[in-house]
Amino acid sequence: MVSEATVLQALRGIRDPEAQQDIVTLGLVRDLRIADAEVSFTLAFTTQSPQAKVTMHTMASRLVGQLPGVSRVQVKMGGGAREPAAAPAHGHGPAKSAELIPEVRHTVAVSSGKGGVGKSTVAVNLAVTLSETGGAVGIIDSDVYGPDVPLMLGARGRPGMFENRIIPVEVHGLKMMSIGLLVNEREPLVWRGPMIHSFIQQMLRDVMWGALDYLVFDMPPGTGDAQLSLSQVIPLDGVVMVTTPQEVALLDVRKAIGMFQKLNVPLLGVVENMSYFVAPDTGRRYDIFGEGGGRRLAEEYGIPLLAQIPLDPETRIGGDEGSPIVLRRPDSPQAKVFGDLARAVRARLDELAALERLPKIS
């Protein structure tokens, strides 16, 4: 079991940027409790800026989460000496969505076997389309290796604080939080399981999401520590798997599908991105990355092929410039494909929810 001294020593590494002293010396750390591998404490903030509070809170959960023998960290935020309004106590194991985010109706992850296949592009455009076609939508950028969502949405704001909770950034009608908003961009980060656990708990429990119809997660690529930890902690209603048509991408996506199956996360279906390119001058279609991979994968697992998204320079530019293609070119073929994808995701979630309600025969 980790000792109190070790925890405090780790927390001494965090300085209050305004007071220029570490948070232990300043007496901000209160109610430190250690029970087996679980550590909890309160940061008794006073007049710190919202940004400073968010940063110190994140660093505190990260630093303590990295300590050997710690599997779970709960950092409460208290004003002065007051205890914060009773935060619900969490038991062992992954918390249920009903506990962490009771006002969120559906949680959807966008995942893939590898990076660069268009996960963030799909997550962002899907979220915007879901919100445009009716519904309150949030998006959590949990790609610890490349948090691109703020850039792709063109979000300039920073998260604020209200009554010790984090207010998500509002952009294009979405509520958004990103791991990229909480860490220093130049600071190289090696994310380990426990840090990811505490990060995602913070994203769910400490952020004021309010009532949402859909909360979309942009997941990190691969089947490593990060993806696995997140999938265990996030209460997911389903996952959309993004792939490109060629065989090498399929190998990785199969591994990722296997991981979600083991964790009992329902597969909503496959999105084949960069499926083909239509030359604007001749109208001819080119299968740049091969052909048919998405359909083969969907058939192999008996799940729907939700969409085939063409390669399109404007989609890339939209991502780089922070104006998602569905808003930038609402009448384009791209936007139509995302419209179909959003409808398919909605239908699939309703279908799975209906299956849940059926009586089980054992």
Ligand X SMILES: Nc1ncnc2c1ncn2[C@@H]1O[C@H](COP(=O)(O)OP(=O)(O)O)[C@@H](O)[C@H]1O
Residue 340 exposed, middle or buried by CB count within 10 Å (0-12, 13-18, 19+): middle
Residue 91 exposed, middle or buried by CB count within 10 Å (0-12, 13-18, 19+): exposed
The correct pick among 42, 112, 131, 243 for binding ligand X (CB under 6 A) is: 112
Contact call for residue 120 and Mg ion (CB under 5 A) = yes
Question: Which span sits near Mg ion by CB under 5 A: 51-59, 148-156, 193-201, 334-342?
Answer: 148-156
Question: Which span sits near ligand X by CB under 6 A: 19-27, 99-107, 311-319, 344-352?
Answer: 311-319
Contact call for residue 142 and Mg ion (CB under 5 A) = no
Contact call for residue 315 and ligand X (CB under 6 A) = yes
CB-based contacts of 169, cutoff 8 Å, min separation 6: 150, 155, 157, 158, 159, 175, 176, 177, 181
C-alpha distances (whole Å) from 228 to each of 71, 103, 138, 261, 265 are 15, 25, 22, 12, 12
Spell out the alpha helix ranges (H) of 138-182.
Answer: 149-153
CB of 319 to ligand X, least distance (A): 3
Binding-site partner at residue 117 among ligand X, Mg ion, none, CB < 5 to 8 Å by type? ligand X
The correct pick among 34, 39, 63, 117 for binding ligand X (CB under 6 A) is: 117
Four-residue CA torsion sign, 54, 56, 58, 61: negative
The correct pick among 107, 121, 131, 231 for binding ligand X (CB under 6 A) is: 121
Contact call for residue 148 and ligand X (CB under 6 A) = yes
Contact call for residue 148 and Mg ion (CB under 5 A) = yes
Question: Which span sits near ligand X by CB under 6 A: 112-120, 223-231, 257-265, 298-306?
Answer: 112-120
Cβ-proximal residue to Mg ion, closest one: 120
Four-residue CA torsion sign, 108, 340, 323, 172: negative
The two three-digit tokens of residue 126, written as one number? 């899907």
Question: Would you give the binding string for ligand X spanning residues 290-309, x where CB under 6 A is met?
Answer: -------------------x
Give the separation between CA 171 and CA 133, rounded to whole angstroms.
16
| Residues of the shown chain interacting with Mg ion in the complex, contacts defined by CB under 5 A | 119-120, 143, 148
